[in-house]
Amino acid sequence: MTKVKIFERKKMISEKPRVRFAPSPTGYLHVGGLRTALYNYLFAKRTGGTFILRIEDTDRKRFVEGAVENLIESLKWCGLNFDEGPGSVTECGPYLQSERLDIYKKYVLQLVESKNAYYCFCNAERLEKLREEQKGRNEQSKYDKHCMSLSDDEVKTQLDNNSPFVIRLNVPEAQTVKFNDMIRGDIEFNTAMIDDQVLLKSDGFPTYHLANVVDDHLMKITHAIRGEEWLSSTPKHVLLYQYFNWEVPLFAHLPLLLNPDKSKLSKRQGDVAVEDYKGKGYLKEALVNFVALLGWTAGDDREFYYLDELVQAFELERVNKSGAVFDIKKLDWLNAEHLRKKSTTELAGMLAESLSESKYAEKSFSTEYLSLVVDAMRERVSFIKEIIENGSYFFEEPTVYDEATVKKRWTAESAGLLNEYVSELKNSECNTKDDFDKLLHSLAEKLEIKIAQIIHPLRIAVSGVGGGPGVFDILYIIGKERVIERINRCVETLSK
């Protein structure tokens, strides 16, 4: 026995790390889950290890149609491809726990055999009553091991009668369970505080605790990297490893992602699903970059990373202990940063897609046109859709003119000056941005006015608003004919 253990330990150390992201399929990928998945992925890729996706679907009451597919899709969208997982055919599979029921049964029976687990036939009423009594006495609610004293014959009779049962972990009375956490160091619990956890439910499904330990062992997981919410149930898992006589993996409990009020990040206080952020127009690069920085830094001042760069820099040892507030403002900033680094071609494609979902869906714009728009607008937005929102004049003629801007920039001479410019335009080629520029400058010189006197009204006329790209960029992009139309319309409207 001892020999085997030593052999296993040696083998494990020499082997490459095997880590898993083990979500329950609730219907979507939570950003906290994304962070856990990401750290697992980064650690695996950094160390040349294996990243495994295991679906913890042992709660039939919580079954959600399509949840697994959705989860995988979100993971893929973020670029986190797993090496092993649903669909993989390996000696460690299948990777859906609901397909591994026989395995858990086999192992839990082993525990019953060794008296480390026992059958329990108590019904819900008795348990509830027990809990209430304990609560009344201000005690911790814990199962009273009532069924542990059942004789083998009594158990057999109950089983023969098809009585519903669960199998419980036999937790020792008062013993210290110690384990080391890679992030938090040594942690110990007293078993007096630990309940005789149900391992196998009456529907034949395992609970998380059993399935998790059995699978981590069978799938040769070397590092269990998971959220801090699992910290308090870790002693149960350690106990299970001891009872099975299996080597305990290394644990790393990640700090939680928090709401602005510091509670655990939840749906109630904003978006938590990866698909929500995708839907709002966040780039996967930005989301991944941002989430990576929630609880980890390389130790330098760098904040901009692509996924492959994170792989190069990531160290599990540098993960923080304390929870991190999910600060949307910083995400927005990173989104803008990533947006600006993208090629014009890619952004034009994204703009076309965004346009097809907008009120301009019926209109069509050439790639060349959209490329010009993108380059004019990219420094001014954090999201692609903002190009449409803030630059509507690239997609339709302005019909209203921003009141504050008009008040500030439109004077009695404006209409006349714009008319002069129209005349000049009609007699010119204006094939480049520079042509528009030169024409305006020479006009200003001729009329002996400051260029600002005409440039501001011109902006109002072609865009309807006070801000945006350089006027000559706008003029060039929308073209001479439309510039003339817009000036005429504006002059007419504002002269009333």
Partner RNA sequence: GGCCCCAUCGUCUAAUGGUUAGGACACCGCCCUUUCACGGCGAUAAUACGGGUUCGAAUCCCGUUGGGGUCACCA
Query: Which residues are marked as active site?
Result: 267
Q: Least distance to RNA from the beta carbon of 361, Å?
A: 26
The answer to whether the bond into 86 is cis (omega within 30° of 0) is no
Among 110, 141, 431, 442, binds RNA (CB under 7 A): 141
Neighbouring CB atoms inside 10 A of 407's CB total: 8
Q: Report the distance separating Cα 494 and Cα 483, nearest Å.
A: 16
Is 311 or 328 the residue whose CB approaches RNA more closely? 328
Among 256, 307, 316, 439, binds RNA (CB under 7 A): 256
Q: Helix 101-113 vs helix 208-218: angle between axes, to the nearest 10 degrees?
A: 100
Q: Which H helix or E strand runs over 51?
A: strand 50-53
Among 34, 24, 11, CA closest to 289? 34
Binding mask 83-102 for RNA (x = CB under 7 A): --------------------
* Tokens read off for 117: 């687990």
Among 15, 154, 346, 379, binds RNA (CB under 7 A): 379
Is 229 or 346 the residue whose CB approaches RNA more closely? 229
Contact between 221 and RNA per CB under 7 A: no
Q: Which H helix or E strand runs over 158?
A: helix 152-160
Q: Least distance to RNA from the beta carbon of 279, Å?
A: 21
Neighbouring CB atoms inside 10 A of 171's CB total: 22
- Which parts of 406-445 interact with RNA (CB under 7 A)? 437
- Which parts of 165-184 interact with RNA (CB under 7 A)? 166, 184
Among 149, 299, 368, 496, binds RNA (CB under 7 A): 299
Rounded CA Rg of the chain: 32
Neighbouring CB atoms inside 10 A of 12's CB total: 16
- Which parts of 315-374 interact with RNA (CB under 7 A)? 318, 320-325, 327, 329-330, 332-333
Instruction: Give yes or no for a contact between 305 and 284, defined as CB atoms under 8 angstroms apart.
Output: no
Is 53 or 294 the residue whose CB approaches RNA more closely? 294
The answer for residues whose C-beta is within 8 angstroms of residue 174's C-beta and 6 or more apart is 190, 191, 192
Q: Least distance to RNA from the beta carbon of 212, Å?
A: 7
Question: Considering only 82-90, 187-195, 278-286, 413-421, which stretch makes contact with RNA by CB under 7 A?
Answer: 187-195
What's the per-residue H, E or C state across 346-376? HHHHHHHHHHHCCCCCCCCCCHHHHHHHHHH
Q: Least distance to RNA from the beta carbon of 8, Å?
A: 26
Q: Least distance to RNA from the beta carbon of 353, Å?
A: 22
Q: Least distance to RNA from the beta carbon of 2, Å?
A: 30
Q: Least distance to RNA from the beta carbon of 294, Å?
A: 5
Is 276 or 375 the residue whose CB approaches RNA more closely? 375
Question: Considering only 59-67, 68-76, 105-113, 155-163, which stretch makes contact with RNA by CB under 7 A?
Answer: 59-67
Instruction: Give yes or no for a contact between 67 and 27, defined as CB atoms under 8 angstroms apart.
Output: yes
Is 126 or 363 the residue whose CB approaches RNA more closely? 126
Q: Least distance to RNA from the beta carbon of 89, Å?
A: 23
Is 90 or 190 the residue whose CB approaches RNA more closely? 190
Question: Considering only 7-15, 194-202, 213-221, 275-283, which stretch makes contact with RNA by CB under 7 A?
Answer: 194-202
Among 22, 177, 307, 430, binds RNA (CB under 7 A): 22
The answer for residues whose C-beta is within 8 angstroms of residue 5's C-beta and 6 or more apart is 245, 247
Among 17, 93, 295, 457, binds RNA (CB under 7 A): 295
The answer for residues whose C-beta is within 8 angstroms of residue 338's C-beta and 6 or more apart is 283, 285, 286, 289, 304
Instruction: Give yes or no for a contact between 326 and 259, defined as CB atoms under 8 angstroms apart.
Output: yes
Q: Report the distance separating Cα 265 and Cα 267, nearest Å.
A: 7
Q: Least distance to RNA from the beta carbon of 295, Å?
A: 4
Among 450, 365, 384, CA closest to 411? 450
State the number of binding residues for RNA (CB under 7 A): 84
Is 228 or 247 the residue whose CB approaches RNA more closely? 228
- Which parts of 444-483 interact with RNA (CB under 7 A)? 451-452, 455-456, 459, 466-472
Q: Report the distance separating Cα 4 and Cα 441, nearest Å.
A: 87
* Amino acid at site 27: G
The whole-angstrom distance between residue 192's C-alpha and the CA centroid of its chain comes to 38
Strands ordered across the beta sheet of 18-21: 50-53, 18-21, 223-227, 250-254, 176-181, 185-190
Q: Report the distance separating Cα 350 and Cα 283, nearest Å.
A: 11
Contact between 264 and RNA per CB under 7 A: yes
Contact between 201 and RNA per CB under 7 A: yes
Is 39 or 395 the residue whose CB approaches RNA more closely? 39
Among 154, 203, 308, 357, binds RNA (CB under 7 A): 203
Contact between 32 and RNA per CB under 7 A: no
Is 298 or 422 the residue whose CB approaches RNA more closely? 298
